[in-house]
Amino acid sequence: MKIDTVEIHQLSMPLVSQFETSKHVERDRECLLIHVEGDGNEGWGECVAQRVPWYSYESIGTAWHVLEDFLVPAILETELEAPSEFPERVAGIKGHPMAKAGLEMAIWDLAGQIAGEPLAEMLGGERTQVEVGVSIGIQEDVKTLLEVVRNHLNEGYRRVKLKIKPGMDLEYVEAVREAHPDLALQVDANAAYDTNRSKIFEQMDQYELVLIEQPYPEEDLLAHAELQARVSTPVCLDESIDSVTMARQALDLDACRIINIKAGRVGGLTEAVKIHDLCSARNVPVWCGGMLETGVGRASNLALASLPGFTLPGDISATDRYYELDVAKPRFTLNSDGTINVPTNPGLGVDVDQSALEHFIVRTNQFTVR
Ligand code: NPQ
Ligand code: MG
């Protein structure tokens, strides 16, 4: 396939409710949508970098720059046999995994359109439905959190992840566990804890959580290994795992027993599948993380989560948990068994709604040959 046109759109989409983590509060999801054309077909991709680089060093601004100045020129008008060739094509450009993953996703979609094959099938997916859960931002008090949890359970979610931060942790977890003794419950600290604060996680063992996600700063694998040796709850890494190499080191160190896979964090679906394969070979459960994606990124997550090693529910909620109006059609809905259907149309299996898109565009740039 040969790509002759690339368009980058910066979007700003209002969230149904604000999302608060240990590091940042977001009210509007800003992201980049990438459109590629080639061989008479088109593909869409989503770059999950955010306006503010609180989750990782990438931002909308750095991704725009790296796409415009380095990534798009590296692939325009050159022959690509398969999307899996993309990572080696851009290997000379260090870092910036979210920028790379956004463009790679568009190339996967394009390849799927050309081949008439759904993304899930191209990646080796086996499920037609995937188990999902809901990620709940930090709430102002325990009472509010209990109401929010109750509402999501009424909607049909069967797994709940609570965002925590120092001072807003044990009391919240205890209250939710008390109200819902059998709920699949897990926590995510987004690297907010000091490494000498392991006591709080030792105390969490009594609440029988599915996992504790990224308690410590991402660079510190040893601190996570020390924690895993002290607690019986599995430690799960998110921010720390930016490649299959890092995943191997984390597992060798016993720094985690579960891995959250996000294609955006690791440079694309090709690398994400490699991490999945490594973990499957070692019997380490993985699950698909989320970045408050639009329907474009959500479709990609569903395809990825259909691979056999994704044995824990993903942070992939129904569209209406995040957006009143989305750029992609159809919207994703929750089935009564707490699953969402994996798209079956070619590529990502969703269409971008031009009028919705225009509603959210902040700026656009087009790159084309001749
Ligand atoms: C995580 N996601 O697992 C992330 C982090 C996160 C679903 O918990 C705007 C855009 C707000 C991206 C908040 C979930 C966000 C965001 C949190 C990503 O760590
Ligand atoms: Mg996380």
Q: What does each of the 370 residues of the chain score in pLDDT, given as a tens digit?
A: 999 999 999 999 999 999 999 999 999 999 999 999 998 999 999 999 999 999 999 999 999 999 999 999 999 988 999 999 999 999 999 999 999 999 999 999 999 999 999 999 999 999 999 999 999 999 999 999 999 999 999 999 999 999 999 999 999 999 999 999 999 999 999 999 999 889 999 999 999 999 999 999 999 999 999 999 999 999 999 999 999 999 999 999 999 999 999 999 999 999 999 999 999 999 999 999 999 999 999 999 999 999 999 999 999 999 999 999 999 999 999 999 999 999 999 999 999 999 999 999 999 999 998 6
Q: Please count the residues of the chain.
A: 370
pLDDT value of position 369: 84
pLDDT value of position 370: 63
Whether 235 and 257 have beta carbons less than 8 Å apart is answered as yes
pLDDT value of position 353: 96
Whether 110 and 43 have beta carbons less than 8 Å apart is answered as yes
290 lines ligand 1 (CB under 6 A): yes
Tell me the DSSP string of 217-236: -TT-HHHHHHHHHH-SSPEE
306 lines ligand 1 (CB under 6 A): no
Among the listed residues 163, 165, 199, 274, the single catalytic one is 163
Q: Is 2 a catalytic residue?
A: no
- Best mutation site among 24, 135, 237 for ligand 1, i.e. most ligand atoms within 8 A of its Cβ? 135
Q: Is 161 a catalytic residue?
A: no
CB atoms near residue 362 (< 10 Å): 11
24 — alpha (psi -120 to 50), left (phi > 0) or beta? Answer: beta
Mean pLDDT, rounded, of the chain = 97
% of the chain beyond a pLDDT of 70: 100
Q: Is pTM beyond 0.95 here?
A: yes
